[in-house]
Amino acid sequence: MLQAMHHVLVETKGNGLTEITSEVNRWLAKQKVETGLLTLYCRHTSASLLVQENADPDVREDLLTFFERIAPEGKGLYVHDTEGLDDMPAHIRAALTQVQLSIPVEAHHLVLGTWQGIYVFEHRAAPHRRDIVLHLIGE
């Protein structure tokens, strides 16, 4: 049984979804694991990971609109506002999605569905560099 770890530094463009499927696949292709489990872990509390449709970009726009509606930004809405009005909604939106994702590896490929892409979901307004840890176990 083998293990491998890797850090992917993702430059986000501010609030929105940045696809990292290709970058993850490129790293996986270099590993010697045919069957196993790949775990992605986001080391932040105002960004998260999401598997979503990679076809119609309107899906990502509607997702953003939904999260803006459900956890809106606004003065007086939250107690915690010292890090900016976009910070507390970011924590809530991260809590509603997830910081970790594990995907089985079969025949040297992630078992992602045809329409599934892996995204870093940036919840802050400004661009950030996000540290995503990849852990692979298998053989």
CB 50 within 8 A of CB 61: no
Q: Which of 19, 53, 73, 86 binds its own copies (CB under 8 A)?
A: 53
Smallest distance from the beta carbon of 24 to its own copies, in angstroms?
Answer: 14
Closest to its own copies by CB, 25 vs 45, is 45
Q: Which amino acid is at 84?
A: G
User: Could you give the residue ranges of the DSSP H alpha helices within the chain?
Assistant: 21-29, 57-70, 87-96
Nearest in space to 52 (alpha carbons), one of 37, 62, 38, 42? 62
- The footprint of its own copies (CB under 8 A) covers 1, 3, 5, 35-37, 39, 41, 43-45, 50-53, 56, 58-59, 61-63, 65-66, 70-71, 78-80, 82, 88, 91-92, 94-104, 106, 111-113, 115-116, 131, 133, 135, 137-139
